[in-house]
Amino acid sequence: MEHRSHSAQPSRSRRRPHVGRRALAAAMALAALALTACGGSTPGSAGADGEVTLQLWDTDTRPERSANLKQLIDMFEKKNPGIKVTYLGLPTDSYMQKIDTAIATKSTPDLLTPKASDLSALVAQGALAPLDDRFAKGGWAERVDRSMVDITKAAAPDGKLYMTPATSLADAVYYRKDWYDKVGLGAPASWNDFFTAAQKLTDKGSGRFGYTIRGGAGFFPQFVQMVYPQAGVASFFREDGTSTLDDPAVVEAAQKYVGLYKTATAESDLTADFKAMVAQFTAGGAGMLSHSIGSYPTITKTLQPAAVGVAAPLPAADGSTVLTGRVTTGFAMFNNSRHRDAAWKFLEFTMSQEGNSFWAKASGYIPGNLAVEKESWVQDSPVLNAAVAAGKAPNVRFLNQPYYLPEFNSITNTDMRPDWQRVLQGQLSVREFLTTWAAKLTQAQQRYQKLKK
């Protein structure tokens, strides 16, 4: 099950059939009415007894997650007897079209579970309510991890807080401890350790490889995880708005990373996506896998936890540590909600120790609430404990994804992939690849900076 949110964003096609404006408006209104009907209530409605009913739209409807979210809602309702929350799961592959329709027809619900990569589009339409004032007045700045707040704000084009920093993902390198023990290797503590292990664990004759590289869908987050920290570069853009993809240190690190393909990885990795990588790792085809902490429950369903090691973030040659994959997940409320105070109560519950502890544990993510970080279930989890400790280490820097760029997802998730596969096949040089796509990202960033002025 894919958990790396920035690689799991469904493509958001905004193409619509060529129809007249009236027909389009009618279709959008009907779609909105259908959505409301599915939810079984009018968003933000208040009953005769004064009970408020909020409607929550969920953009991530994996069955286990949906069940957990409904349990979180039950917990909230028991603590807030005057407020009911109805749940509506949106289609994973078209949820933004549904939301866009609701925005256009002014029929948005009260609450939403947006992805960080959705914030730019939603904020541009004025759909979400900024939470900064309520967050400050509620004293949440002292109770929620500061880095999660900053990362959440950085995803919005105006730098405001539109989503509760409830939980966060982080990147990790998983390794087969049993394989390491057999060849006499200790846990990887440097990039040299990692590359040495990748070669030493490879036995092509028996179909075992040291690493599994992601050549298919979702390749870019893994590329960033394995290249930027190695290069010691902690920003996608320089101060002048130019992309760091063509930074000499990034190019050198990428060349070393690409060198793993077919020497320490399976040739079939050319098209590997998340499921293929995890299958290789858990079935004994690969000794190391890099992905988010959200993969740990999936991996340990097949492998015994004692056989799986988690490498702390590996430092760059200059000793600095760059953390990648820190993407917050949380809850937002719409500007058009008629019961913002009630909606805010729900958002507060997701950040409270009770609500946050349940939701973070059920999700397998880093909790945003600082008191929850100290709970035993976090301390006893190898992957969460390592991720929390990494975020508090001295000299650590966070590499934030520029989700505020409308083009970022399409460029990195779709447009770059054919060229990446040409690089792996030796048909395009790493330098040419990075120079070409650095120019595309630079154009997007400079266009954004121009619009901000």
Buried b (16+ CB within 10 A) or exposed e, 380-393: ebebbebbbebbee
Domains detected in the chain: 52-169+327-398 (3.40.190.10), 171-324+405-452 (3.40.190.10)
- Work out whether strand 83-89 and strand 52-58 pair parallel, antiparallel, or are unpaired: parallel
Contact (CB, 8 A) for 10 and 86: no
Question: Residue 393: pLDDT band by 50, 70, 90 thresholds?
Answer: confident
* pLDDT score of 45: 60
* Span 306-330, average pLDDT: 91
* Span 247-254, average pLDDT: 98
Q: For residue 405, which amino acid is it?
A: L
* pLDDT score of 178: 95
How high is the mean pLDDT of the chain?
89
| pLDDT tens-digit series, residues 23-60 | 333 334 334 334 433 443 445 566 657 799 999 999 99
What would the two tokens of residue 283 be?
A: 């079935």
Residue 52, beta-bridge partner list: 46, 83
Contact (CB, 8 A) for 265 and 214: no
CA-CA distance, 280 to 205, in Å (whole number)? Answer: 16
What would the two tokens of residue 379 be?
A: 């301390």
Confidence check: pLDDT of 268 > 70: yes
Q: For residue 91, which amino acid is it?
A: P
Contact (CB, 8 A) for 266 and 283: no
Distance of CA 13 to the CA centre of its chain: 20
| pLDDT tens-digit series, residues 275-292 | 999 999 999 999 999 999
Taking Cα atoms as reference points, which of 10, 35, 48 lies closest to residue 86? 35
Question: Residue 422: pLDDT band by 50, 70, 90 thresholds?
Answer: very high
**H runs (alpha helix) in 92-207:** 95-104, 119-124, 132-137, 146-154, 177-183, 191-200
| The Cα angle at residue 421 between residues 302 and 444, in degrees rounded to 5 | 105
| pLDDT tens-digit series, residues 175-217 | 999 999 999 999 999 999 999 999 999 999 999 999 999 999 9
* Span 376-395, average pLDDT: 91
* Span 55-72, average pLDDT: 95
| pLDDT tens-digit series, residues 73-112 | 999 999 999 999 999 999 988 999 999 999 999 999 999 9
CA-CA distance, 229 to 384, in Å (whole number)? Answer: 19
Contact (CB, 8 A) for 210 and 182: no
Collapsed DSSP state (helix, strand, coil) of residue 442: helix
Taking Cα atoms as reference points, which of 423, 43, 17, 41 lies closest to residue 245? 423
